[in-house]
């Protein structure tokens, strides 16, 4: 009878549940800058999950390249989102605040798609799909 180690299975389940719940902070955030910072935090979390997968020794060369490609697209958009959130938070009322809001919404939409793509990629790689 083959004995199955439960630790690797438990670690994979925890990683996957972390990926699935990454969007919860974005969904519960109330203000525009809270949503932006929550999405940026989601990106940082998925980067960590991806890094753990890459350094675990289980990632193939092609998986590593896929993760690097997804990160190369998402990273600058996530940084722009973070910067837009700070600009919105610090903007005074009036036209400057309105312009900052428009930029924040645009940055959120751009980063959201790339971050969701990266989440899906990492989850699928970890699950073996």
83 is written with which tokens? Answer: 């910067």
| pLDDT above 60 for 21 | no
State how far the Cα of 71 lies from the Cα of 74, in Å rounded to an integer.
5
Confirm if 87 and 32 have CB atoms less than 8 A apart.
Answer: no
**Would the pTM count as exceeding 0.75?**
yes
- What does pLDDT average to over the chain? 84
Q: Hey, what domains does the chain have and what are their CATH numbers?
A: 6-127 (1.20.120)
Tens digits of residue pLDDT in 63-72? 999 999 999 9
């Amino acid at each position: 009878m083959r004995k199955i180690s439960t630790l690797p299975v438990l670690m994979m389940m925890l990683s996957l549940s972390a990926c699935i719940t990454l969007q919860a902070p974005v969904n519960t955030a109330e203000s525009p800058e809270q949503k932006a910072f929550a999405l940026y935090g989601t990106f940082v979390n998925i980067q960590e999950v991806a890094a753990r997968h890459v350094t675990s020794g289980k990632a193939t060369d092609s998986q590593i390249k896929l993760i690097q490609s997804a990160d190369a697209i998402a990273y600058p958009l996530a940084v722009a989102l973070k910067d837009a959130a700070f600009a919105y938070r610090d903007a005074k009322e009036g036209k400057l605040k309105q312009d900052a809001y428009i930029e924040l919404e645009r940055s959120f939409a751009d980063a959201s798609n790339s971050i969701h793509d990266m989440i899906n990629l990492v989850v699928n790689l970890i699950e073996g799909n």
